[in-house]
Amino acid sequence: MNRISLRSCMVLGALALLALAFSMTWHHYAAAPIRAAQEQLKAQTWLSVLPAERYDNNPLQHPIRLNDTQLAHSTLRAGYRALLGGQPSAVVLHSRTQGYGGALELLIAIDPSGRLIGLKVLQQQETPGLGAQLVEPGNTWLQHFIGHALTTTPDAAWALKRDNGQFDQLAGASVTSRAVIQALHDALRYFDEHAEDLLGGTVHE
Amino acid sequence: MNRHWLAGLSLAPLLGATQTLLQATSIAVLSLLAILLHRLGMTPLRRLLTGIGADVASMLLAATIVTCLELTLRAHTLVLYQSLGLYTALIALQCVMFDHAQGHTKGWRAPLSLLLGFTALCISLGVARELMGSGMRLAHLTPGALFLLGLLLALYNRIWRQRAPSRRQGTP
């Protein structure tokens, strides 16, 4: 082990200070643009779950306080209310469930009558080529659920065909498919049970 | 620690961050930029420091450069930054290794040719994966990238590289 001379130590110390100062200054000036970029990206990805003609407010600024967020197979992490002409036009629920490879986060948009109108995967760690087909561009599996509601599709039908339900599964990814279906079912049930809270407030304005 | 280590380490961004042409180009340009800046900073520092001191300085410098690069990326192209994931941070390691392998060579010719080789390989891998990705799932995945890399290198050796003279003893 070669020893370090005093001069090297001083040079290194000065370099460390300089490096730190430089990074911190850079961070200081980059912080605001980074925050803006993150917010913009969040708004972009989150709002893409809603058809554009469905809302005229900024739903992300209308968060809903949720109670009993622990559902049968999933957890609700947040809810947002979309308004159109002052009337609630949809509710977006952020749901988190357990997929095959890890946590699976979904955005679920539900219209006031309890119909599913939008569905988006926010985060997933599924197996590439199997469960991760969910997020591959051009995959239409998620679109099969659009338009379903608890009134049109009974509880027992919210399952894969192989589990005597109504829905096809993603090829080779039954765990992922089940997780998605159960999370959707949970969210729709939650909506039906709490519809007044979720839509409330502005209905009578 | 020598060129082989550097080659091994460069494999990570080469395979992991070249799924699309955009990703491949950006990781190549970012690596190029960071490594050149790092070398630029290390050249005067080498006169002041030797041995372990130079190594520490090299790490400090690499960390600073990559931190600033990451912050800039996050501020201006957040989507790209997210798609590159860990690989931007890994550039710091690449800088340090590059310095180890090439820091003592004088002049810029050898390191530049090495860097340009890396950039060219990154971009051609990106082009290949982008082109094949729509039809073949394998090209999207990392093992597929390894196959493609092998094919590209084989092609390069076949076309441009002169056949090495045989070193076997006793051949006429």
**Residue B68 C-alpha, separation from nearest chain A C-alpha, in angstroms:** 6
Residues on chain A bordering chain B, Cβ-to-Cβ distance under 8 angstroms: 1-2, 4, 7-9, 11-12, 15-16, 19, 22-23, 26-27, 30, 33-34, 37-38, 41, 128-129
**54-83 of B, contacting A, C-beta below 8 A:** 56-57, 60-61, 63-64, 67-68, 71-72, 74-76, 78-79
pLDDT greater at residue A137 or residue A162? A162
Q: Where do the domains of chain A lie? A: 1-47, 52-199
Q: Nearest CB to A26: which of B61, B71, B140? A: B71
**pLDDT digits 0-9 by tens, A115-139:** 998 888 888 888 887 888 888 777 8
pLDDT band at B166 (very low <50, low <70, confident <90, very high): low
Contacts of B4 (CB under 8 A, 6+ apart): none
**pLDDT digits 0-9 by tens, B115-135:** 999 999 999 999 998 888 777
**pLDDT digits 0-9 by tens, A70-115:** 888 888 888 888 888 888 888 999 999 998 888 999 999 998 888 9
Count of A-B CB contacts under 8 Å = 63
Provide the edge-to-edge strand list for the sheet that holds A74-84.
A63-64, A74-84, A87-98, A103-110, A116-123
Contacts 24+ apart (CB under 8 A), A192-201: A192/A114, A192/A150, A194/A66, A194/A67, A195/A112, A195/A114, A197/A64, A197/A67, A198/A64, A198/A79, A198/A81, A198/A91, A199/A81, A199/A88, A199/A91, A199/A112, A201/A81
- Tokens 């690449």 locate to B94
**Which of A6-10, A59-63, A131-135, B3-7 reaches the highest mean pLDDT?**
A6-10
CB contact under 8 A, B75 and A1: no
**Residue A125 C-alpha, separation from nearest chain B C-alpha, in angstroms:** 14
Say how far apart CA A41 and CA B74 lie, in whole Å.
11
Say how far apart CA A169 and CA A49 lie, in whole Å.
21
The answer to whether the beta carbons of residues B80 and B22 sit under 8 Å apart is: yes
The answer to whether the beta carbons of residues B63 and A19 sit under 8 Å apart is: yes
Please give the single-letter amino acid code of residue A15.
L
Report residue A79: phi and psi, to 5°.
-145, 145
Tell me which H or E stretch contains A74.
Answer: strand A74-84
pTM to 2 decimals? 0.74
Tell me which H or E stretch contains A85.
Answer: none
Contacts of A115 (CB under 8 A, 6+ apart): A147, A148, A149, A152
**What is residue A70's DSSP assignment?**
B
User: Comparing C-alpha atoms, which of B166, B21, B11, B10 is closest to residue B94?
Assistant: B10
Measured between beta carbons, the chain B residues lying within 8 angstroms of A16 are 60
Say how far apart CA B73 and CA A34 lie, in whole Å.
9
Residues found in chain A: 205
User: Comparing C-alpha atoms, which of B22, B116, B117, B120 is closest to residue B73?
Assistant: B22
pLDDT band at A1 (very low <50, low <70, confident <90, very high): very low
Q: What is the mean pLDDT of residues B132-156?
A: 85
pLDDT greater at residue B137 or residue A43? A43
Q: Could you give the ipTM of this predicted complex?
A: 0.78
CB contact under 8 A, A22 and B64: yes
Tell me which H or E stretch contains A107.
Answer: strand A103-110
Say how far apart CA B134 and CA B107 lie, in whole Å.
43
**pLDDT digits 0-9 by tens, B32-72:** 999 999 999 998 888 888 888 888 999 999 999 999 999 99
Contacts of B108 (CB under 8 A, 6+ apart): none
Disruptive mutation site among A1, A9, A23 for chain B (greatest number of B CBs within 10 Å): A23
The answer to whether the beta carbons of residues A114 and A195 sit under 8 Å apart is: yes
Please give the single-letter amino acid code of residue A25.
T
- Tokens 């180009």 locate to B25
